[in-house]
Amino acid sequence: MGGRRITLLVLMGVAIYGIWSALQMPIGKIQDQGPGFFPLVLSGLLLFLSILGLIFSKEEKEAPLDWKKIWGEFRIPVRIVFLSLGAIYFWEFLGFLIICPLFLFLLFFWASGFRLWKALALGAAGGLIGWAFFIKLLGVAMPIGTFGF
Amino acid sequence: MEFFSGIAQGFAAASSLNNLYFCLIGVTWGTIVGVLPGIGPLGGTVLLLPATFGMQPDAAVIMMAGIYYGAMYGGSTTSILMNIPGEAASVVTCLDGYRMARKGRAGAALFISAWGSFIGGTLSICGLAFLAPTLAKFALEFGPAAMFAITLLALLMISALGRGSILNTLCMAVLGLFLGTIGMDTMTGFLRMTYGIKELSDGIGFIPVAMGIFGVSEILVSTQTVLPTVIKPKFRELLPTREELNRSWGPIFRGSLLGFFIGLMPGSAHIVSSFASYALEKKLSKHPEKFGTGMIEGVAGPETANNACTGSHLIPFLSLGIPTSPAIALMMMALLIHGITPGPLLAVNHPEIFWGVIASMYIGNVILVILNLPMVGLFVNILRTPFRLLFPIILMICLIGIYSVNASRVELAIMLIFGIIGVFLRRYGFDGAPLVMAMIIGPMMELYLRQSLMVSGGNPLFFLHSTLATVLLIIAILLIVGSIVFSFLKPQAKKVFEES
Amino acid sequence: MISVVISLMALAVFFAAPVGAADYPTRAITLICPVTPGGSLDLNARAFAGIAEKHLGKPVVVVNKPGGSGAVGTLAVVESKPDGYTICLGWPSQTAIIIGEVVNGRKPPFTIDDFAILGRMTNSPPLFNVKYDSPWKTMQEVIADLKSHPPNTYKLGASGIYSIGHLPMEILNKEAGVKIQLVPVRGGGESIALQLGGHTHFSCRYPGPSLPLVKSKQMRVLASFGEEKIKNFEDVPTFKELGYPNIFFYSWYGLLANKDTPAPILERLRRLVKEVTQDPAYLSMMGKTGDLVDYADAEGTKKAWQREYNQILPLIKELEIEKKEKEKKQ
Cβ pairs B/C, distance under 8 A: 147
Q: What CA dihedral angle connects B198, B203, B205 and B209, to 10 degrees?
A: 110
Cβ separation of B184 and C68 shorter than 8 Å? yes
Q: What are C89's strand-pairing partners? A: C255
State mean pLDDT over B476-497.
Answer: 68
Q: Percent of chain B beyond pLDDT 70?
A: 94
Residue C239, domain member (yes or no): yes
B49 to chain A: closest CA residue: A139
Ordered alpha helix ranges (H), chain C: 2-16, 40-56, 71-78, 92-103, 139-148, 167-176, 188-196, 207-215, 263-278, 280-289, 298-329
- Report yes or no: C3 at the A interface, CB cutoff 8 Å: no
Instruction: Give the pLDDT confidence of B130-162 residue by residue, as tens digits.
Output: 888 788 778 777 888 888 888 888 888 887 777
Smallest CA–CA distance, residue C266 to chain A, in Å, is 20
Please enumerate in sequence order all residues whose Cβ is within 8 A of that of A106, keeping only pairs 6 or more positions apart, or say none.
A83, A123
- Report yes or no: C108 at the B interface, CB cutoff 8 Å: no
Q: Quick check: helix, strand or coil at residue C86?
A: strand
- For residue A28, the 8-state DSSP code is B
Same domain, C202 and C261: no
Please tell me the distance from the alpha carbon of residue B460 to that of residue A40, in angstroms, as a whole number.
Answer: 20
Q: State the pTM of this model.
A: 0.85
- Report yes or no: C328 at the A interface, CB cutoff 8 Å: no
Please tell me the distance from the alpha carbon of residue B85 to that of residue B72, in angstroms, as a whole number.
Answer: 11
Please enumerate in sequence order all residues whose Cβ is within 8 A of that of A69, keeping only pairs 6 or more positions apart, or say none.
none
pLDDT band at C18 (very low <50, low <70, confident <90, very high): very low
- Report yes or no: B328 at the C interface, CB cutoff 8 Å: yes
Q: Percent of chain C beyond pLDDT 90?
A: 40
Residue C279, domain member (yes or no): yes
Q: Quick check: helix, strand or coil at residue C89?
A: strand
Task: Choose among B184, B316, B343: nearest Cβ to C213.
Answer: B343
Phi, psi of C277 (to 5 degrees): -70, -10
Same domain, C225 and C144: yes
Please tell me the distance from the alpha carbon of residue B396 to that of residue A133, in angstroms, as a whole number.
Answer: 13
End position of a domain, from candidates C226, C249, C272: C249
- CB-based contact C288:C40 (threshold 8 Å): no
Please tell me the distance from the alpha carbon of residue A81 to that of residue B419, in angstroms, as a whole number.
Answer: 9
- Calculate Rg over the CA atoms of chain B: 22
Angle between helices B2-14 and B17-35 (to 10 degrees): 80
Q: Which residues of B touch C212 (CB under 8 A)?
A: 321, 336, 341-343
A139: left (phi over 0), alpha (psi -120 to 50) or beta: left
Cβ separation of C330 and A147 shorter than 8 Å? no
CB atoms within 10 A of CB B327: 23
Quick one: how far is CA C27 from the chain centroid?
Answer: 28
Q: What CA dihedral angle connects B31, B37, B41 and B43, to 10 degrees?
A: -130
Residue C1, domain member (yes or no): no
Instruction: Give the pLDDT confidence of C290-325 residue by residue, as tens digits.
Output: 778 889 889 999 999 999 999 999 999 999 888 888
* Mean pLDDT of the residues in chain B: 84
> Residue B334's pLDDT is what?
80
Please tell me the distance from the alpha carbon of residue B277 to that of residue B273, in angstroms, as a whole number.
Answer: 6
Look up the CATH number of the domain holding residue C151: 3.40.190.10
Structural domain boundaries, residue C196 = 127-249
Angle between helices B387-406 and B409-427 (to 10 degrees): 130
Q: Which residues of A touch B497 (CB under 8 A)?
A: 52-53, 56-57
pLDDT band at A63 (very low <50, low <70, confident <90, very high): low
Tell me which residues of chain C, numbers 24 to 63, contact chain A at a CB-CB cutoff of 8 Å. Answer: 27, 30, 61-63
Say how many domains are in chain C.
Answer: 2
Task: Choose among A18, A73, A143: nearest Cβ to B224.
Answer: A73
For CA atoms B404, B406, B407, B411, give the dihedral sign: negative
Same domain, C33 and C117: yes
Task: Choose among B174, B220, B393: nearest Cβ to A46.
Answer: B174
Same domain, C117 and C37: yes
Same domain, C240 and C133: yes
Same domain, C166 and C178: yes
Same domain, C98 and C139: no
pLDDT band at C132 (very low <50, low <70, confident <90, very high): very high
DSSP secondary structure string for all residues of C216-280: TTSEEEEEE-SSS--TT-TTSPBTTTTT-TT----EEEEEEEETT--HHHHHHHHHHHHHHHH-H
End position of a domain, from candidates C190, C219, C249: C249
- Report yes or no: C211 at the B interface, CB cutoff 8 Å: yes
Instruction: Give the pLDDT confidence of C141-185 residue by residue, as tens digits.
Output: 999 999 999 988 899 999 888 888 999 999 999 999 999 999 888
**Is the predicted pLDDT of residue B178 greater than 90, yes or no?**
yes
Cβ separation of B408 and C65 shorter than 8 Å? yes
> Residue C95's pLDDT is what?
92
Cβ separation of A53 and B428 shorter than 8 Å? no
A146 to chain C: closest CA residue: C81
Q: Which residues of A touch B217 (CB under 8 A)?
A: none
> Residue A60's pLDDT is what?
61
Structural domain boundaries in chain A: 3-65, 72-138
> Residue B490's pLDDT is what?
62
Cβ separation of B344 and C216 shorter than 8 Å? yes
Cβ separation of B47 and A43 shorter than 8 Å? no
Same domain, C50 and C136: no
Same domain, C190 and C260: no
Same domain, C191 and C142: yes
Smallest CA–CA distance, residue B308 to chain A, in Å, is 28
End position of a domain, from candidates C207, C234, C249: C249
**DSSP count for chain A of H helices, then E strands:** 6, 0
- CB-based contact B438:B158 (threshold 8 Å): yes
**Is the predicted pLDDT of residue B45 greater than 50, yes or no?**
yes
Phi, psi of B451 (to 5 degrees): -65, -45
Same domain, C154 and C221: yes
Same domain, C270 and C306: yes
Phi, psi of A116 (to 5 degrees): -55, -55
The DSSP element (H or E) to which C121 belongs, if any, is strand C115-124
* Mean pLDDT of the residues in chain C: 86
A144 to chain B: closest CA residue: B407
Q: Give the C-alpha distances (Å, rounded to integers) separating B15 from B362, B365, B437.
A: 11, 14, 40
> Residue A65's pLDDT is what?
66
Please enumerate in sequence order all residues whose Cβ is within 8 A of that of B239, keeping only pairs 6 or more positions apart, or say none.
B107, B108, B111
ipTM value for the complex: 0.90
- Report yes or no: C14 at the A interface, CB cutoff 8 Å: yes
Cβ separation of B413 and A88 shorter than 8 Å? yes
A92 to chain C: closest CA residue: C80
Q: Which residues of B touch C211 (CB under 8 A)?
A: 341
Residue C44, domain member (yes or no): yes
Cβ separation of A27 and C330 shorter than 8 Å? yes
Residue C329, domain member (yes or no): no
Cβ pairs A/C, distance under 8 A: 20
> Residue B228's pLDDT is what?
53
- Report yes or no: C71 at the B interface, CB cutoff 8 Å: yes
Task: Choose among B175, B225, B442: nearest Cβ to A11.
Answer: B175
Smallest CA–CA distance, residue B437 to chain C, in Å, is 19
Nearest to B348 by CA among B1, B19, B4, B6: B6
- Report yes or no: A28 at the C interface, CB cutoff 8 Å: yes
Quick one: how far is CA B332 from the chain centroid?
Answer: 22
Instruction: Give the pLDDT confidence of C4-15 residue by residue, as tens digits.
Output: 544 455 454 444
Q: Give the C-alpha distances (Å, rounded to integers) separating A118 from A57, A110, A124, C169.
A: 50, 12, 10, 64
